[in-house]
Chain A
Amino acid sequence: MSEIREFVTFRLNQEFYGIDINNVENIEKVLPITRIPYTLNYVNGVINLRGIIVPVVDLRARFGLTPKPASDESRIIIVNVDDLKIGMLVDSSSEVLQISTDEIDDAPNVRKDVDNEFIKNIGKKNGRIIMLIDLYKVLNIEQHVE
């Protein structure tokens, strides 16, 4: 039985990634980020999301890509994992894709520039490839909440 799942997609460099829509709270334009001293390199800092302090993870840094200043296109995707609200800074994010479970495969072990464990599945839609990420691993939830 195939069913349709929905993913919020975002871009880093020229690659497209997807997050299960159930984990996504909203998508924000880039807000001023306050640096936090002595955190892991991919933690950008915190933002004020309508009165709530939300940590922001720079996905470029997390994926080991070359740093790039935020542009007009950059977005902070606010995700909710295990009751934690976390922002993810990405190059751009625009659409929600519906992908049939038939079109979702296990991640092949071929990518080199992105740590493989971050990619859970590969989704295909209209000839495009969407890498579906594992939020737990990408956000390193286990290590942060010990």
Chain B
Amino acid sequence: MHMDMSQYLEIFIDESKEHLQTMNEILLVLEKDVDNLSHLGEIFRIAHTIKGMSGTMGFTKVADLTHKMENLLDLVRNGEVKVTSYIVDVLFECFDALEEYIDNLEKNGSEGDLDSSALVKKLAVIADNKGDMTAGKSEPKKNEPIKNDIGEETFHIGLNDIESIIQTAFEINVKSYLIKVTLDEGCMLKAARAFIVFNTLERFGEIIRSYPQAEEIEDEKFDQSFEILYFTKLDEAYCKTELMRISEIKEVIVEPLEEMDYTAEQSLKDVEIDLEHVNEEIVKSGKDEAQNTKSDKGKTSKTVRVEIGRLDNLMNLVSELIIIKTRLEDLDTSQNRMVDQNSSNNMNEAIEYLERITTSLHDAVMKVRMVPVERTFNRFPRLVRDLSKDLGKNIKLFMSGEETEVDRTVIDEIGDPLIHLIRNSLDHGIESPAEREKAGKADTGFVALRAYPDGNTVVIEVEDDGKGINPEVIKKKAVEKRIITKETADIMTDKELINLLFEAGFSTVDKVTDLSGRGVGLDVVKSKIEAINGTVEVVSTLGQGSKFIIRLPLTLAIIQALMVNLNKEKFAIPLNNIKEITNIETRNITMVQDQEVVLYRNKTLPIIRMKHVLDIDQTKEELDEIIVVIVKKGDVEAGLVVDGLIGQQEIVIKSLGKYLTGIKAIAGATILGNGSVALIVDPNQLF
């Protein structure tokens, strides 16, 4: 069973995430607009969908929780319970629990150990206290089975407590049936089949109850068959044919209920069934545990949801490629027969055509990998809401440019650094309402999250209107923590001082808060962003706020690079790291603290010998003038000495693979036009 389910797991996770995302958004809206019942309907619908999907997949924890949410939401929707901020909070908690389950499913294929029974209880308490109607709906009904005289079929549905309803039904000429549906032995998605059965029946009448109960059926807690008490105006035969039309149904038995049929009897049978039930559940939970232990096998792969139009475009381009291939083959054969002006013209034409297609193809493939930053952004409204509540600050979040697209791999990496920066702004940046008032600011602070494309990069800014960063405080701390000496500190500009925030071991807050005091500093943010070839810097005006600016490459796969020579070896230096290229006379190089430096444009520029870094024979005689590629890392610059420049080139970054990890100063490799491999230098690791 589970082998077969795995193929649906990815889809399940993808869809659940989407639904959860929507739920999150609606919850945030709901919180501000508690009286609007349409939001509740929407959340109800989502909970219901997730319940259905997880039930089918056999994820009982998710299904249970969503089921309970559904119960509560149903009451709220019907106006029996009024929405309060407490209810919204509980719903948020449910959302968190669901998200964790889905995360666990994605990471290791099982729901994990998170226990949501307390949450379920909370939901039940709300439902019980505020709505009188709850008992009938959410509590398990007493199952008093009846034995039916007709045929050998035994029905387990208890009818006692609803005699009057059945009676009424008879009176208004609605027929009641007991229906027993038996599924094929090989039926794969039993719950899904059952769902179709329910749906079909609901088109023509009303399902009063079922055995097992609907939630258990959705959880697939039944063998091959289940029973339904059904009210309809249709006749028996019609119901039967309608149901038999559904595939994978082995047998349908429809028993009309006669007026006196529902007399209760046989409590012995009841006990028997209950025991059976319990046994079944024990077996089931045992199975679950077994699955948990081997959970690490079930990791899912990364997926990208692609608009069909983009794939069509890709397909078109590939077909064009095939056409041009045939055309080149034709040219090849005709060229063998006669060499004339005409065919070489054709050849050029064909090559141009080919070039055009490969460029378009490249674009198209890139687009397939692109996803909007929305995917990362959409968790922030919730984050800001929760944090500002915890901190007792009034904070508004503005977001713009959510539609800006970046490569999928970039999206995955950028989430954590952004969370960190936002936390930082909320915790250290924005002042408490009292402080803000004293400073003459509006008591609601703001955090703005903006994304926009800028040439070949995407910029993401996190800006707040808080107290800003005090360079003097930084200076003091940095000297205290021995990150820099007093002498260095004195000659540093404010901007340089502020950027010391990104140094390892730097944290300006003495008080460790729950939020930012996790032992992770901004240096981690920086290294994470640099790992994906991005940069981060901060600008700040004391008293007015700070802005963190992150620049990210559009894609990690293809970059512009400068190809250089070192002896006979070729290396690529990413162009976005390069500031300029210059020649420097060797006699101008001086040694400062074991480091070669040169005075360039009135600044000291450290000189890095690439041959030394890359372990290349350095015995060749030194020239009077050397070629220096000046690279920048944030505000810091360094000159890389190379033998020769080959030129600028678009390169495809390839990983060196798991076998060769942690190679110093190398970001990967690329394949050159002649098929040989060149290594890509990572200037960020050089200084």
Contact = CB atoms under 8 A, between A and B. Distances in A.
B659 A53 contact: no
Given A46-B669, A53-B669, A34 B678 contact: yes
In which size bucket is the chain A interface?
20 to 34
Contacts of B657: 53-55, 84-85
A61 to B, nearest CB: 16
Nearest to A33: B677
B164 interface: no
Interface stretch (B14-22, B525-533, B660-668): B660-668
A7 B219 CA distance: 50
B249 interface: no
Interface in B629-687: 654-661, 663-666, 669, 671, 675-679
Interface residues of B, number: 24
B134 to A, nearest CB: 53
Contacts of A36: 656, 660, 663, 666, 679
A86 B659 contact: yes
Contacts of A35: 569
Contacts of B678: 34
B671 A38 contact: no
Given A35-B569, A36-B666, A46 B656 contact: yes
Interface string B569-586: 100000000000000000
B599 interface: no
A47 B654 CA distance: 12
B614 interface: yes
A34 B675 contact: no
A48 B677 contact: yes
A84 B656 CA distance: 11
A55 B614 contact: no
B278 interface: no
B669 A34 contact: yes
Interface in B583-635: 613-616
A14 interface: no
A88 to B, nearest CB: 12
A55 B658 CA distance: 10
Given A46-B677, A48-B676, A144 B661 contact: yes
A43 interface: yes
A35 B458 CA distance: 34
B410 to A, nearest CB: 21
B663 A34 contact: no
B660 A43 contact: yes
B663 to A, nearest CB: 6
A144 B659 contact: yes
A39 B664 CA distance: 9
A85 B664 CA distance: 21
17 contacts: A34-B669, A36-B660, A36-B679, A37-B613, A37-B664, A38-B664, A46-B656, A47-B677, A48-B671, A48-B675, A53-B669, A55-B656, A55-B659, A84-B657, A85-B657, A144-B660, A145-B659
Interface of B: 569, 613-616, 654-661, 663-666, 669, 671, 675-679
Which 5 A-B residue pairs are closest in the complex by CB-CB distance? A37-B615, A34-B677, A37-B614, A53-B654, A55-B659
Given A38-B615, A48-B671, 4 more contacts: A35-B569, A46-B677, A48-B676, A145-B658
Interface of A: 32, 34-39, 43, 45-48, 51-55, 84-86, 139, 144-145
